[in-house]
Structure 1
Amino acid sequence: MNYKNFPMVPRVIFGRGSFNQLSEIISPKRLNVHAPFVFLVDDVFKGNAWLTSRIPLAYEDKVIYISSNEEPKTSQVDDLVEDIILTSRQGTSGIIGIGGGTILDLAKAVAIMLTNEGEAKDYQGWDLVKNPAIYHVGIPTISGTGAEVSRTTVLTGPEKKLGINSDFTPFDQVILDPELTKGVDTNQWFYTGMDCFIHCVESLNGSYLNEFSKSYGDMSFQLCKEIFLQDTLSEAESQDKLMMASWHGGMSIAYSQVGVAHAMSYGLSYLLGTKHGIGNCIVFDHLSEFYPEGVSLFKEMKKKHQIELPKGICAKLHDSEFDIMINIALSLEPLWENAIGKNWKKTITREKLKNLYQKM
């Protein structure tokens, strides 16, 4: 038996206000005064002095504001890399991502592509990256995706939506400051939190499950139930717990895998541009056949927080468009194997997936 030897984030700091330690954390990593740190920041913080005034800019450091309204694309990574190379006189000291899953995934991908030739689309897959990434730091401002801890960066390319899965993807440093998640609107909080919950359901019910994944998945699952079903938590407690649920949820799939909801939501995202969190929710709502207990809890959480999911997003699609989504979903073989087992192709037919998509 040959066991996976996974990398983990080597340094992490947790605590309310820990963002203020960013300067002392990154200063020793500066290569020289002409090698900037590049901060990729969610543009919702543009003009938000509470956060932006605390970004420790020095010398030729720069902030690039990025919209997270769309899923990250390989072409976007290539454009960022080109811009950074052209404007950095003596290399780049590091990439710091400040935002949700979209920004964190872009930060990981840019750090990789600054040291690897070609285009980002060439590295979509498993273990295709040859050279270590440059120093990169992840600072989540919304909790749930697990992007801060995972070894993948999920990108939409010209032909597929697939992660750059590699040992060089994880951040060198993560700062978990729950204060940064204040002000997230209820729908966004719910969709991203459910990404975490769905990770855990898929991991805990998968054929790849082992005690390593289970210990993290169980913890995250219990935290999600506390956060989304109890009334006793203060806002600060809820923020702290969801940040840890996200971390544990991300860890639970490091040695395991996600499943049906993620495979099918990749199809929605690729064709319709549906954001990852809400896409998972739309799909998961119809997966009682695969995850009866998890879907039942999900519906309970949805009702409690008065969440109305979009309906009929596939109503006007043509057969050729369903085919595109089905092709994307079926290409994610490890997800299906985890969810159904080695013989998954016997039961997961194109017709079955089409019927499921038609309900959404």
Structure 2
Amino acid sequence: MVSNVVFGRGSFNQLEEILLLKRLNVNAPFIFLVDDVFQGNEKITSRIPLSYEDEIIFISAEEEPKTSQVDALVEHIILKFKDRPSGIIGIGGGTLLDLAKAVAIMITNEGETSDYQGWDLVKNPAIFHVGIPTISGTGSEVSRTTVLTGPEKKLGINSDYTPFDQVVLDPELIADVPKQQWFYTGMDCYIHCIESLTGTYLNAFSQSYGEKALELCKEIFLGNDLSPVESQDKLMMASWHGGMSIAYSQVGIAHAMSYGLSYLLGTKHGIGNCIVFDQLEEFYPEGVKLFKEMKLKHDIQLPTGICKDLSDADFNTMIDVALGLVPLWENALGSNWQKTITRAKLRSMYEQM
């Protein structure tokens, strides 16, 4: 679990105090990985507490994070600074938070990032790392995985060394998220809840977090009484609780299939989950019904026909990626999931998207 959490409007201003106690020496910088949407935005950049050799690296979140991207960042840091960094701070949405977690791990572990895609493959503890979400829904700020697209698969680095050492939850930072992005990322949280609460891995711990996150999602996306401030606060906590729920259970079919879309087509995680989940009435009837109500209420039109021109090889690539995520299928359908999910079944499902 995340060791330290600060929550509250304006809590981003506590970052300097937090980092002051963690600096190893004047030659050991803090590296800030920041979504490049904030480049030139004084509301954010002027509040980042830079000292000594500290560096801000602006990174585009237009594409899903890649193992090669992590390798390049680690190489840059190792070659530029003579001392190991004091810490890595990720500021942004799920892409930046996943990159920050992965870089912190790879500073202390040899080889390529793709070597660690899987469960409990990391041998050495990561360096100190901090997550500051500026979009809420992915749960990356609390999860024990960092989802990355590698040369052969899209799969997380799942380990006890992945979670952040410190998280700063400042709802003010998510106030300016565009509506479409707000919806897609929020639905990632909602889908976490549905997949966790209906899964075979469910236990009392994950259920308690999942039920609270689902309750908050209903308030945010179907209610009419929340002010913008209340909505921001609640969405940040829904993301946290949804992430905690899947940390102690697992996600399911929507995530497994969206990984295939992302690997082949580069479809962003949130919208990919929505495209898939919209077609899953067979498996999550009540959850999909509620999702369609949310989509209608907020006038969201999902892309259609994204798989219509794919070749047989393309479909096989997506199917291979999806089928490789065995724990997700086991959570959704149990140990005999392969009796239900065949390659032909998956292809027919992808063809509907």
2:42 is equivalent to residue 85 of structure 1: no
2:319 is equivalent to residue 332 of structure 1: no
Match of 2:33 among 33, 36, 40: 40
Q: Which residue of 1 aligns with 2:199?
A: 206
Q: Which residue of 2 aligns with 1:314?
A: 307
Q: Deviations over 1:222-251 (max 9, x none)?
A: 000000001110001000000000000000
Match of 2:114 among 121, 126, 131: 121
Structure 1 Cα separation of the partners of residues 216 and 21 of structure 2:
36
Match of 1:18 among 8, 11, 17: 11
Q: Which residue of 2 aligns with 1:194?
A: 187
Segments of 4+ in structure 1 off by > 4 A?
Answer: none
Q: Which residue of 1 aligns with 2:65?
A: 72
Q: Which residue of 2 aligns with 1:169?
A: 162
Structure 2 Cα separation of the partners of residues 284 and 122 of structure 1:
30
Match of 1:303 among 296, 303, 316: 296
Root-mean-square deviation (CA), in Å? 0.4
**Which SS does the other structure have where 1:162 is aligned?**
strand
Q: Which residue of 1 aligns with 2:281?
A: 288
The Cα of 1:182 is off from its aligned counterpart by: 1.2
Which residues of structure 1 form unaligned runs of 5+? 1-7
Structure 2 Cα separation of the partners of residues 255 and 146 of structure 1:
13
Residue pairs, 1:52-63, within 5 angstroms: 52-63=45-56
Q: Deviations over 1:40-62 (max 9, x none)?
A: 00000001001110000000000
Structure 2 Cα separation of the partners of residues 9 and 259 of structure 1:
23
Q: Deviations over 1:127-147 (max 9, x none)?
A: 000000000000000000000
**Which SS does the other structure have where 1:96 is aligned?**
strand
Structure 2 Cα separation of the partners of residues 183 and 26 of structure 1:
26
**Which SS does the other structure have where 1:320 is aligned?**
helix
Letter in 2 for 1:89: K
**Which SS does the other structure have where 1:138 is aligned?**
strand
Structure 2 Cα separation of the partners of residues 65 and 289 of structure 1:
42
2:245 is equivalent to residue 252 of structure 1: yes
Structure 1 Cα separation of the partners of residues 339 and 277 of structure 2:
22
Letter in 1 for 2:250: Q
The Cα of 1:88 is off from its aligned counterpart by: 1.2
Structure 2 Cα separation of the partners of residues 333 and 91 of structure 1:
36
- Identical residues among aligned pairs (%): 76
Structure 2 Cα separation of the partners of residues 292 and 37 of structure 1:
47
Structure 1 Cα separation of the partners of residues 224 and 313 of structure 2:
46
Structure 2 Cα separation of the partners of residues 255 and 49 of structure 1:
38
Q: How many residues align?
A: 353
Letter in 2 for 1:28: L
Letter in 1 for 2:168: I
The Cα of 1:262 is off from its aligned counterpart by: 0.2
**Which SS does the other structure have where 2:21 is aligned?**
helix
Structure 2 Cα separation of the partners of residues 284 and 152 of structure 1:
21
Match of 1:99 among 74, 83, 92: 92
Q: Which residue of 2 aligns with 1:239?
A: 232
Which residues of structure 2 form unaligned runs of 5+? none
Q: Which residue of 2 aligns with 1:218?
A: 211
